[in-house]
């Protein structure tokens, strides 16, 4: 991503070099990536590096109740940018106005469409090699109108992924400046601990660690503060809920079920922490820590993931001969994994067929006409395959927990006593580190 954007900056700094060779410089660059990966920061850095004027606006700022206001704002913004060229126009959350047209609930003539049409008109009206660059950012690139993405408009699409191990270490080094950490802080361990964190998450984590240390009147920030902050960033703050002894015991067995199935599933990342302390909407949690960045998923690992996810429900039924609502999120997660396996990854008996992405109810930008049509008969077959995967995972969870019932009791009792069990304590209870897949 950095190299692509450096090249775009060079277009603005040295346009004559490209003009002499008859090259057409890009009119637009779209930055696609999850929230917190630095899209806005990169756009500002591009303007600073190229020493150009910078105009920033969010996609939602174009939208007003009065029809025509959004289009007028687009015309004014582009006129100002042309007047002060070379310049960069940055449109954040472009999906607010750039979603696919004529598939919304309101039809094809709403204010959003007029605003989008005006942006397309302005971009098409640029003279060749006009020193105005449009940079747009979105975390939902799949919802954008194809007309925006064609050559001559947004020529470059730059994907900003979550940072890898090396990237997280660099981000940690930047945000650790000015904060007193204890001597010998293991930053490699912190970088491993933060797999799946965005740059914004990492900054927030170190800030929360500093607040945690100050709350306890410490002079320096230690690994305990960082660990607590990382958990808080991902799962939310602790909640002091009054629970009956039975509730605590049920939660302890539920989390112990997750952890024990994980331990005996060689394809899964090792357990990092188990707790029956409430956070967010959860009564407890079992956290696994990836040992490295994962680039792809395997069928074996996903089946193990379903088994681990259903381990809590399996433990409830084995110990209490009862089902609770505490497994609702687990069931939802297991179902999502199974649906991905069937509908997108081609891992079921239906064969290597892609039925299109799963739709959330919030995906209004993708209309019915854009979706792959699936017959009722095929949907029934898909449901059967999804059930097979979930039942396979649940069966494995039950087998593991019944076979290792004494260990299940041991972990649950430790959780009732201590509330939180770290990875070293967990592995000591089970006789050592988990065995990994060959």
Cβ burial 32-58 (10 Å sphere, 16+ → b, else e): bbeebbbbbebbeebbeebebbbbeeb
Exposed/middle/buried for residue 224 (C-beta within 10 Å: 0-12, 13-18, 19+):
middle
Cα angle, residue 311 at apex, residues 310 and 315 outer, rounded to 5°: 120
User: Computed over its alpha carbons, how large is the radius of gyration of the chain?
Assistant: 26
Q: How far apart are CA 375 and CA 360, in angstroms?
A: 19
- The two tokens of residue 56 are 């920033």
Q: Can you spell out the DSSP letters for 347-358?
A: -STT-S----PP
**285-288 sheet: strands from edge to edge:** 285-288, 271-275, 420-422
Beta-carbon-side half-sphere exposure of residue 414 (alpha carbons within 13 Å)? 22
Confirm whether 111 is a catalytic residue: no
* Residue 96 and residue 139 in contact, taking contact as beta carbons nearer than 8 Å: no
Among candidate residues 93, 111, 227, 255, the one labeled active-site is 255
Q: How far apart are CA 196 and CA 294, in angstroms?
A: 10
**Sign of the C-alpha dihedral computed for residues 120, 124, 127 and 130 taken in this order:** positive
User: What are the start-end ranges of the E strands in 221-265?
Assistant: 238-239
* Residue 90 and residue 43 in contact, taking contact as beta carbons nearer than 8 Å: yes
Q: How far apart are CA 334 and CA 389, in angstroms?
A: 9
Q: Quick one: residue 357, left, alpha or beta (phi over 0 = left, psi -120 to 50 = alpha)?
A: beta
Q: How far apart are CA 132 and CA 123, in angstroms?
A: 10
Task: Choose among 394, 401, 374, 413: nearest CA to 330.
Answer: 394
DSSP SS3 for 428? helix
Active site (catalytic) residues = 255
């Amino acid at each position: 991503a950095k190299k692509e954007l450096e090249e775009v900056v060079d277009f603005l700094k040295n346009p004559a070099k490209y003009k002499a060779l008859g090259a057409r410089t890009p009119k637009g660059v779209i930055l696609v990536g999850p929230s917190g990966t630095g899209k806005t920061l990169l756009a500002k850095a591009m303007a600073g590096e190229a020493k150009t004027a910078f105009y920033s606006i969010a996609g939602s700022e174009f939208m007003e109740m009065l029809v025509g206001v959004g289009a007028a704002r687009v015309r004014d913004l582009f006129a100002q940018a042309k007047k002060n060229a070379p310049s960069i126009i940055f449109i954040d959350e472009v999906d607010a106005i750039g979603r696919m047209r004529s598939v919304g609930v309101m039809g094809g003539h709403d204010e959003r469409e007029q605003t989008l049409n005006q942006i397309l008109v302005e971009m098409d009206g640029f003279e060749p090699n006009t020193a105005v660059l449009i940079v747009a950012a979105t975390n939902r690139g799949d919802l954008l109108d194809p007309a925006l993405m064609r050559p001559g408009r947004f020529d470059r699409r730059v994907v900003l992924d979550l940072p890898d191990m090396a990237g997280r270490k660099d981000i940690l080094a930047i945000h650790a400046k000015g904060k007193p950490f204890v001597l010998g802080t293991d930053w490699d361990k912190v970088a491993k601990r933060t797999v799946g964190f965005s740059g914004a998450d990492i900054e927030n984590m170190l800030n929360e660690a500093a607040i945690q240390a100050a709350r306890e009147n410490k002079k320096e920030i230690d690994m305990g503060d960082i660990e607590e902050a990382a958990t808080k960033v991902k799962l939310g703050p602790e909640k002091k809920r009054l629970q009956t002894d039975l509730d605590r015991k049920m939660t302890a067995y539920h989390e112990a079920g997750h952890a024990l199935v994980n331990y005996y599933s060689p394809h899964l990342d090792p357990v990092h922490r188990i707790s029956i302390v409430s956070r967010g909407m959860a009564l407890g949690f079992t956290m696994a820590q990836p040992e490295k960045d994962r680039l792809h998923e395997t069928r074996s690992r996903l089946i193990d993931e379903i088994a681990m996810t259903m381990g809590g429900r399996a433990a409830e039924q084995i110990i209490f001969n009862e089902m609770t609502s505490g497994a609702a999120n687990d069931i939802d997660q297991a179902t999502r994994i199974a649906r991905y396996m069937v509908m997108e990854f081609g891992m079921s008996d239906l064969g290597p067929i892609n039925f299109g992405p799963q739709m959330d109810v919030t995906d209004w930008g993708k209309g019915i006409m854009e979706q792959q049509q699936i017959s009722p008969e095929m949907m029934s077959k898909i449901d059967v395959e999804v059930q097979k995967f979930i039942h396979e995972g649940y069966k494995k969870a039950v087998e593991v927990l019944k076979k290792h019932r004494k260990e299940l009791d041991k972990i649950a009792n430790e959780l009732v006593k201590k509330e939180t069990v770290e990875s070293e304590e967990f592995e000591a209870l089970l006789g050592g580190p988990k065995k990994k897949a060959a």
